Structure 1
């Protein structure tokens, strides 16, 4: 089975992890800050906070921005559930904004229309989580303008997008957002096994997230309510969590980051080759906005169902039967039972549902060979033809 995504681990990665195992620190040592510095420097952000998952990063990002009971968080329906769940973790209410039919990202025009209505109803969002689906950045300039006009905070869920660029600058510099979150899950562009990171240019937000990721405990006298009793002293000054990243994960991350640019360049080569090999098929190929350089975590096609005799499910199952580990990113969050119990209906976001009924993620990872890619294309031709 050719998977849709796969980590790329070399000997340098293994040696980096073994080095930590032989060291004095398996957690809370020097590798985590080293990894944070590497990522911050690469993307052009002032501060970086490594945590045990992108979900944890989204949670503490929301808390740092003051999201709480009675507030609203808006995001896109076409994302993993964590992009919405992070609002619920904070006691906030969640709503969605439909996608742009070309980029599959949150649509700025749909956002503007919804904001205009929310302003009249006095229920504007406190936080909007925009998701760079497949690695292609959202229209951050347009969203940033709306954020200033309507007074909401912006989190970039860039779980798919490290190494990508927007308007010629690396995603994560937070030019149009308050916080950007990355994922380092094994199927992502670089991996730390499990892991995530939040980056920001705001020192106060960084301090708050730093506190929240480690039980709300500080050893900094300036953050304490009294003089320390001695060098052993610490205080819990907030209700935090155990969201720390280990030294093992961070060492792997530092090593992986050395190949980030090469990883993304290889994904672009594969995408260009897919574009060429699939151009004559009854499918819609991914469209890339000219302002973007996608991280290309995913390569998503959409079936032209009116031009083929097979259903979406039949094509998907045929590909799986032929040994192609395709997937579907994502089932729109608002259709999940937990969210439908809140009152959401499938038809609430028609562009998202149209996408869901046609989308298939083909294998895309830097280790994919051209022979494997040829097998994917051949299997897709068979599936579409009903063979």
Structure 2
């Protein structure tokens, strides 16, 4: 009996951990080989990765590992995959040829939006998703790999309060059939969530609210209480999806991060606080106020600083590692579920065994 009790305690403490993924972008100017990158994931117990386009060296390095992968179709490849034969070839070359890689999702396009510089790709996203799904189904992988697209908060016209979340009027025609596709295929919506950008773009911003350090409730919305901006943004997306028939479409946070320099509130202290608190929050079982009781699958952006990336200076400093592979923050990427079990629940389990 004591042996069984000891095994139970070890099981509670050390197994069934919730994993936080990390995005690996392509604008990295370090000297690490792709095998070195995968080894860095393994050495830090990071068991989920997102890449933005097929990378044969990364796929080779991932063979036989326990790292689950989001593989992306870049926006400039979407039009070509509107041809079913091309989609079949893409799935064969980048998925079927790597049976020892644990593919989790295919992200067909990233932040395509009728209102931004990616607007030329709008008409290609859904047909590409459908063709990739067909190819995956024919390959017998439909129960293993989900097809989605990565969107972002720029598609929302209303985000406050979150229960009123709604897509922009000129976005509905684009996003509604995608939501329907995801619902029909039991696939999640991938959403890039950045409290940093929402915070610095708001003259009335509350930095602790964005960093998960607010001392209590900041927003009340129809009986729901919000103490952090991250949950607020996610629930606004959930409300927007629900209005289009996507009530049951789960959201996976495909990017979230905070820069360590290059802009307002972009400091190493704020970034470290955000990443630590984000990991703690999404690996808990509390969920969001609108979707309680579930962990939130989340991918940190990004693995490395990207000094050659174009755009604002802050865009270059989202890495959780420097380009020489030194960690910028002390982060723990796998949190045992037992850490989220209440004291009464844990001791209730042990008490039950004591009566045997």
TM-score in terms of structure 1 length:
0.23
Structure having greater relative contact order (Cα 8 Å, sep ≥ 6): 1
